[in-house]
Amino acid sequence: MTTVLEQGNISIHTENIFPIIKKWLYSDHEIFIRELISNGVDAISKLNMLSRSGEYSGEVEPKITIAVDKDGKTLSISDSGIGMTGEEIKKYINQVAFSSAEEFISKYKDESDQQIIGHFGLGFYSSFMVADRVDIDTLSWREDAQAVHWSCDGSTSFELSESDRAERGTTITLHLNDDEQEYLEEARIKQLVKTYCDFMPVPINFNGEVINKQEALWKKSPSDLKDEDYLNLYRYLYPYEEEPLLWVHLNTDYPFVVNGILYFPKLKPDVELNKGQIKLFCNQVFVSDNCEEIIPKFLTPLRGVIDSTDIPLNVSRSFLQADRTVRRIADYVAKKVGDRLKELYRDDISKYISIWQDLGTFVKFGSLNDDKFKKQVQDYVIFRSTADLTKSDQPKVEVETEGDEWADVEKSAVDANGKSYTTIKEYLERNKEKHENRIYYATDEVSQATYISLLENQGLELLFMDSFIDTHFVSFLEQEYSDVKFSRVDADLDDTLIDSEQENEIIDASTNKTRSEQVKEVFEKALNRPKITVRTEALKSGDQSAPPAMVLVPEELRRMQEMSAFLQQQGVEFPDSHTLLVNTSHPLIQNVAKLSQGSIVQPDGGQSPSEQLATLICEQVYDLALMAQKGFDADGMKAFTERSTNLLTQLTER
């Protein structure tokens, strides 16, 4: 059994903790102006509550006034709020971390329809981070109250005396120390007010003008706002950005209070998906640019505002405490975004398609990272298609109607340029007779043009998965559609593209060789590269649009290389081991075979002129096929240029 030697209370001495509060309470000294103005707004809010409860019958006249005296090196912030008595100063100012806001809210919670900003009772002491002395001059709203003056030099000592102040409210005067003279400059004051207090619901006066906007659109009902209102707010918050794609208005008071407007920006190539620019507010007071804890990872690139009094903050309001409420708010935000996307797809699919290039990155990134969001939007992930989806041949899509019933309606899936868009399900349904459970896709319309044309000419539909995120999204889709094979156009060829009747055609009766065997032998000898697999096929092509040769990289091998490059943060190297598919039905390939056929061996064992020409053409055909897959390095380009010149010279000498 343990013997208890002594019990008691832990003693905290203000002379020990006060220097810590002054130096470390906030990460940035400039925060003091936010805290003092917030206290002033709170004082006005309290007066409003008293007015509504009938305890105060005078005028409220909400106003915050900032004044500077450069000669005296003072900065003062005045409010027309509730004021304080001498006893209240001793209770709320002299007792560190005793919050008058908490006590006031508890007493008047039934009459209050607006939130009080402060809760910790420490904000006032932020003034000592920049001031050698702080004075308070205040007059309470109570009848026959005596105005009082409080002064403290940053130590644990203070003076409290009577004041001749005649106007209800409070003025806090900071005697700035020598290192903080920047807060006497007009531009600096305006910049700080715009940053932290721009949307506070009380006019802030400085040098005879109101310097804050006051109106927070996110606090309004969406029905009271027009598109131009949302756009104007975005332009104000992000003046150098392009217009947003669309926006989502957050507005709920149960089971937590969250207001906000989130914008989908137009993405730029250098966008940082992990860097957020959503501004966090608490009751219209700016808190932070960091909303990572309450914004799902995939929505980090969004812009806009989130305002909530239910987000638990630490005393500096600079960081979030991760708890259950925060997680629930994150889920709510994700759901509202998903609902907005579904609404746009249902009501205006033309606009949905027009912004899909940027919007799709958010949707795909979200599907990869959030299972709930994936289920919410999986039917609205679209891809550009080579199919001709005219109005007379529109896919049927399910949309939600009144009464939570579902109905099939026709939707235009073609953009302004006539390009078609489709979902995976629609693609599979259209092509189940041609190639069931197989999807052909391209990642680069330019470099893969030859492959794309070959499939199109045979009536095969393919999808474009050409955004930077699609490399990972294809693997994700294969998990979702486990019975579907995804084939990039340059990975392999569909059997329908091959003319099997030409496969066994004998062209050399003496050796009984087929055309394919002969062409394979010619190319293997000419290229002399063991890592290259030469494959010969007769491709269908009535108009000779099929190329003489194509380089193919098996899907699995390419995926492994892409994943390896991603993990090592390197570029994807083109694999040395790949397949050269030579089209034996192409006239050029047939002519090359004839050049090599029956060539006379030279006395010195070298090649005959026709064999030399055939070798040059084989190498040229290979390089042309390779150009569709990768660019040349310096040596490769030099060899290609020299060979091209040599080849043209020989052809013109004949």
* Stronger pLDDT, 96 or 116, i.e. the higher one: 96
Domain CATH for 393 = 3.40.50.11260
pLDDT in tens, 302-331: 999 999 888 765 534 444 445 677 788 888
**306 and 428, same domain (yes or no):** no
Q: Which of 57-61, 362-366, 510-514 has the lowest mean pLDDT?
A: 510-514
Inside any domain, residue 123: yes
Q: Which of 238-242, 359-363, 482-486, 601-605 has the lowest mean pLDDT?
A: 601-605
Query: With pLDDT > 90 as the criterion, what percentage of the chain qualifies?
Result: 36
**236 and 166, same domain (yes or no):** no
Say what the pTM is: 0.77
pLDDT at 590: 86
Domain termination site, one of 152, 177, 210: 210
Instruction: Tell me how far apart the alpha carbons of residues 281 and 604 are, in angstroms, rounded to a whole number.
Output: 86
**471 and 507, same domain (yes or no):** no
Inside any domain, residue 355: yes
CB 250 within 8 Å of CB 278: no
**321 and 414, same domain (yes or no):** no
Locate 476 and state its tokens: 């994700």
Orientation of helix 515-527 relative to helix 609-627, angle to 10°: 90
Find the angle CA(357)-CA(363)-CA(368) to the nearest 5 degrees: 125
Domain CATH for 261 = 3.30.230.80
pLDDT in tens, 34-86: 999 999 999 999 999 999 888 988 888 999 999 999 999 999 999 999 999 99
Which of the four pLDDT bands, split at 50, 70 and 90, describes residue 99?
Answer: very low
Residue 404 belongs to what H/E stretch? none
Inside any domain, residue 3: no
Q: What are phi and psi of 72, to 5 degrees?
A: -85, -5
pLDDT at 102: 47
Residue partners of 472: CB distance under 8 A and separation at least 6 = 368, 566
**203 and 333, same domain (yes or no):** no
Span 91-114, average pLDDT: 55
Q: What is the DSSP letter of 364?
A: H
pLDDT at 392: 44
Domain CATH for 56 = 3.30.565.10
Would the pLDDT of 175 be above 50?
yes
Q: What is the DSSP letter of 535?
A: E
Q: What are phi and psi of 23, to 5 degrees?
A: -95, -35
**Percentage helix, strand, coil for the chain under 3-state DSSP, each rounded to 5:** 40, 20, 40
pLDDT at 497: 79
For residue 312, cis peptide bond before it (omega within 30 degrees of 0): no
Instruction: Tell me how far apart the alpha carbons of residues 210 and 212 are, in angstroms, rounded to a whole number.
Output: 6
Widest Cα–Cα separation across the chain: 126
Would the pLDDT of 343 be above 50?
yes
Which contacts qualify for 361-366: CB closer than 8 Å, 24 or more apart? 361/267, 361/467, 361/468, 361/469, 362/264, 362/298, 362/299, 362/301, 362/302, 364/467, 364/469, 364/470, 364/473, 365/273, 365/298, 365/469, 366/296, 366/298, 366/299, 366/334, 366/337
* Stronger pLDDT, 449 or 109, i.e. the higher one: 449
Find the angle CA(417)-CA(418)-CA(422) to the nearest 5 degrees: 120
Span 161-166, average pLDDT: 94
Residue with tokens 């995939």: 298
Locate 260 and state its tokens: 């906000």
pLDDT at 315: 37
Domain termination site, one of 317, 344, 377: 377
The dihedral built from the CA positions of residue 128, 133, 139 and 140, taken in this order, carries a sign that is positive
pLDDT at 173: 97
Ordered DSSP codes for 503-526: TT-EEETTTTEEHHHHHHHHHHHH
Locate 316 and state its tokens: 């500096």
Span 130-154, average pLDDT: 93
Inside any domain, residue 88: yes
Would the pLDDT of 282 be above 90?
no
Would the pLDDT of 272 be above 70?
no
Inside any domain, residue 2: no
Instruction: Tell me how far apart the alpha carbons of residues 452 and 466 are, in angstroms, rounded to a whole number.
Output: 13
CB 307 within 8 Å of CB 260: yes
Number of alpha helices (DSSP H) and beta strands (DSSP E) in the chain: 19, 25
Mean pLDDT, the chain, integer: 81
Between the CA of residue 642 and those of 145, 182, 649, what are the distances in Å?
Answer: 99, 68, 11
Would the pLDDT of 575 be above 80?
no
Residue 279 belongs to what H/E stretch? strand 277-282
Domain termination site, one of 361, 377, 393: 377
Span 189-217, average pLDDT: 95
Report strand pairing: 438-442 vs 485-488.
Answer: parallel
* Stronger pLDDT, 85 or 154, i.e. the higher one: 85
Between the CA of residue 53 and those of 104, 107, 117, what are the distances in Å?
Answer: 13, 11, 20
Q: What is the DSSP letter of 102?
A: H
**228 and 123, same domain (yes or no):** no
**648 and 618, same domain (yes or no):** yes
The residue segments making up the domain with residue 50 are 15-210
Domain CATH for 645 = 1.20.120.790
Inside any domain, residue 6: no
**87 and 46, same domain (yes or no):** yes
Q: Which of 164-173, 308-317, 603-612, 633-642 has the lowest mean pLDDT?
A: 308-317
Inside any domain, residue 527: yes
**202 and 267, same domain (yes or no):** no
CB 82 within 8 Å of CB 43: yes
Q: Which of 187, 303, 295, 290 is nearest to 241 (CA)?
A: 303
Q: Which of 113-127, 488-502, 616-630 has the lowest mean pLDDT?
A: 113-127
**247 and 364, same domain (yes or no):** yes
Locate 418 and state its tokens: 């006539």
Would the pLDDT of 384 be above 90?
yes
- Number of domains making up the chain: 4
**20 and 167, same domain (yes or no):** yes
Span 111-116, average pLDDT: 48
Would the pLDDT of 114 be above 70?
no
pLDDT at 119: 42
Inside any domain, residue 10: no
Helical H segments across 99-247, by residue range: 100-108, 186-196, 227-237
**562 and 642, same domain (yes or no):** yes
Would the pLDDT of 450 be above 50?
yes
Span 113-121, average pLDDT: 46
Q: What is the 3-state secondary structure (H, E, C) of 141-177?
A: CCCCCCCEEEEECCCCCEEEEECCCCCCEEEEEEEEC
Instruction: Tell me how far apart the alpha carbons of residues 560 and 575 are, in angstroms, rounded to a whole number.
Output: 11
Would the pLDDT of 596 be above 90?
no
